[in-house]
């Protein structure tokens, strides 16, 4: 079989018309569910081989997302064309999908042919993708996408454990975001530990993984603690094996961070460059101090125009609270509700399924999801499949569009600070304190359990220290 293609060799083969993909590449594409021509498969395989070759040379890249990020950084150094970048990304997506649940493992001993290399060891499906290189380490080849299963047997029943974790999270009534985050952290941990028996998982593996996150991945303390929280939940609720003393000692120390805050003029310039539904949502984030998820989860019945308040249901920590409805946004909200009623009427005429309802309300009141009061204030444009029930319905708007709008508006406004949707909430609290609002009132509006959480905004006020003048300005 041919050795790994360089870019020049690939071009020569293309010129000769030799665009047959290797069997290993075809197996990967088949596992990924991709039906492509020989020519397209050939070039996708070319990118896959170069990616594997790069990963083999860097022994620390034993986690697929890390290996992808490192290779993309390396690939961009050659200043490729946009279409080349798109082709590479397509190849990596298909490679990851086709080798899902596989883990990079080193092959330490030379085989009879005198080569050594890297293999990707499969999960329950029993495939082994073996990558061998000559002793010189300069060239390599994808030998096979199928081989004997590891002598240790298949890795841990990863998907079964993740399904158990998913059920435990839903029993605890955690949010869908927490579910997604915990599952991803536990998945990465299980891929890191490799094919070990369930009884072998314990404090030693967790400690080693946390060290890997801190020393190799160099993640922030908050990300490390988030991963540890996910593992604590997994060991306690799924494996029924608490981690004992580690629960109190393994947390990473977080330094005291001050929130990013925009000035009042910066907020004015920023909001002036936003429009439409996204602009209305950003005005509510700043004008009412809402979190992004609280905003996109608003229901029609929670908007009280007569009293000028917004009822925030099931906020962070499962808490409810009321906030003011900004008077300057009232007219835009009225117009938005007129369009919303038309969309609701169209969905009822088209017999679209009702919106998602919390807890068991969908069973208790089967038609409540179709009622006006339960509709999302900011619905999506199209119908989508509910990730939990599998039913097709109109969900609330995605936050991705809003993130892009925030980034573009901040750039156009010439704001050098790191601006996110949550910065508007920080600015809301800070500007209220600057205007002389009592800190306890701000605490209630923000939904903080402790006033100490709210006090952080006193450190970023425009006039810290109760308006004390700098000695430089004292004359």
DSSP string, 188-238: HHHHHH-S--GGG-SHHHHHHHHHIIIIII---HHHHHHHHHHHHHHHHHT
What count of other Cβ atoms lies within 10 Å of the Cβ of residue 228?
22
Residue 264: per-residue pLDDT: 92
Respond yes or no: is residue 241 known to be catalytic: no
Active site residue: 393, 425, 426, 431, which one? 425
**Close Cβ partners of 428 (under 8 Å, ≥ 6 residues apart):** 285, 286, 287, 288, 289
Respond yes or no: is residue 422 known to be catalytic: yes
Respond yes or no: is residue 330 known to be catalytic: no
Closest residue by Cα to residue 427 from 237, 317, 252, 267: 267
> At 304, which helix (H) or strand (E)?
strand 303-304
Residue 66: per-residue pLDDT: 66
Residue 251: per-residue pLDDT: 67
Closest residue by Cα to residue 90 from 35, 152, 47: 47
Block residue for tokens 């080798």: 99
- pLDDT average per 10 residues of sequence, the chain (475 residues): 44 50 76 77 86 68 65 81 82 76 45 41 39 35 34 51 87 83 87 70 84 82 88 88 68 74 93 93 94 93 94 87 94 95 94 86 86 94 78 87 90 92 94 91 92 88 62 62
Respond yes or no: is residue 403 known to be catalytic: no
Active site residue: 236, 316, 321, 403, which one? 316
The number of CA neighbours under 13 Å toward the Cβ of 55 is 27
Collapsing DSSP to helix, strand or coil, 8 comes out as helix
Is the backbone of residue 459 left (phi > 0), alpha (psi -120 to 50) or beta?
Answer: alpha
Respond yes or no: is residue 425 known to be catalytic: yes
Active site residue: 71, 127, 131, 457, which one? 457
Q: How far is residue 241 from each of residues 46, 201, 237, measured CA to CA in Å?
A: 45, 9, 8
Residue 471: per-residue pLDDT: 66
Handedness of CA 441, 444, 450, 456 (dihedral sign): negative
Residue 75: per-residue pLDDT: 85
Residue 157: per-residue pLDDT: 63
Active site residue: 27, 291, 297, 395, which one? 291
Residue 30: per-residue pLDDT: 77
């Amino acid at each position: 079989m041919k050795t790994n293609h360089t870019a020049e060799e690939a071009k020569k083969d293309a010129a000769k018309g030799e665009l047959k993909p290797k069997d290993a590449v075809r197996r990967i594409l088949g596992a990924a569910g991709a039906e492509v021509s020989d020519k397209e498969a050939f070039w996708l395989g070319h990118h896959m081989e170069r990616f594997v070759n790069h990963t083999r040379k860097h022994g620390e890249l034993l986690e697929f997302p890390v290996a992808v990020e490192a290779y993309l950084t390396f690939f961009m150094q050659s200043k490729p064309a946009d279409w080349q970048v798109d082709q590479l990304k397509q190849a990596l997506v298909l490679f990851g999908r086709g080798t899902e649940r596989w883990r990079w493992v080193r092959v330490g001993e030379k085989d009879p042919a005198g080569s050594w290399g890297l293999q990707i060891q499969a999960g329950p499906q029993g495939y082994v993708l073996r990558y061998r290189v000559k002793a010189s380490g300069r060239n390599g080849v994808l030998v096979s996408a199928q081989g004997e299963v590891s002598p240790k047997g298949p890795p841990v029943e990863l998907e079964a454990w993740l399904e158990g974790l998913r059920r435990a999270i839903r029993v605890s009534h955690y949010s869908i975001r927490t579910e997604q985050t915990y599952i991803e952290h536990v998945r990465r941990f299980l891929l890191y530990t490799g094919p070990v028996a369930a009884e072998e998982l314990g404090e030693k593996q967790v400690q080693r993984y946390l060290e890997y996150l801190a020393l190799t991945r160099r993640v922030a303390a908050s990300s490390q603690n988030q991963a540890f929280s996910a593992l604590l939940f997994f060991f306690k609720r799924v494996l029924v094996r608490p981690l004992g003393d580690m629960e109190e000692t393994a947390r990473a120390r977080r330094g005291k961070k001050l929130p990013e805050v925009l000035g009042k003029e910066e907020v004015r310039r920023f909001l002036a460059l936003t429009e439409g539904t996204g602009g209305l949502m950003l005005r509510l984030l700043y004008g009412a101090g809402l979190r992004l998820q609280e905003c996109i989860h608003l229901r029609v019945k929670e908007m009280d125009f007569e009293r000028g308040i917004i009822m925030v249901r099931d906020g962070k920590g499962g808490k409810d609270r009321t906030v003011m409805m900004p008077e300057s946004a009232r007219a835009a909200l009225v117009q938005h509700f007129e369009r919303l009623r038309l969309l609701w009427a169209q969905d009822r005429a088209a017999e679209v399924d009702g919106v998602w309802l919390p807890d068991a309300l969908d069973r208790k009141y089967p038609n409540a999801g179709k009622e006006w009061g339960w509709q999302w204030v900011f619905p999506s444009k199209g119908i989508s499949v509910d990730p939990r029930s599998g039913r097709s319905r109109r969900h609330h708007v995605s936050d991705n569009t809003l993130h892009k709008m925030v980034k573009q508006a901040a750039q156009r406004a010439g704001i050098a600070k790191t601006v996110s949707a949550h910065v508007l909430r920080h600015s809301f609290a800070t500007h209220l304190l600057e205007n002389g609002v009592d800190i306890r009132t701000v605490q209630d509006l923000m939904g903080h359990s402790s006033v100490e959480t709210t006090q952080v905004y006193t450190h970023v006020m425009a006039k810290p220290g109760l308006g004390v003048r700098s000695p430089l300005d004292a004359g």
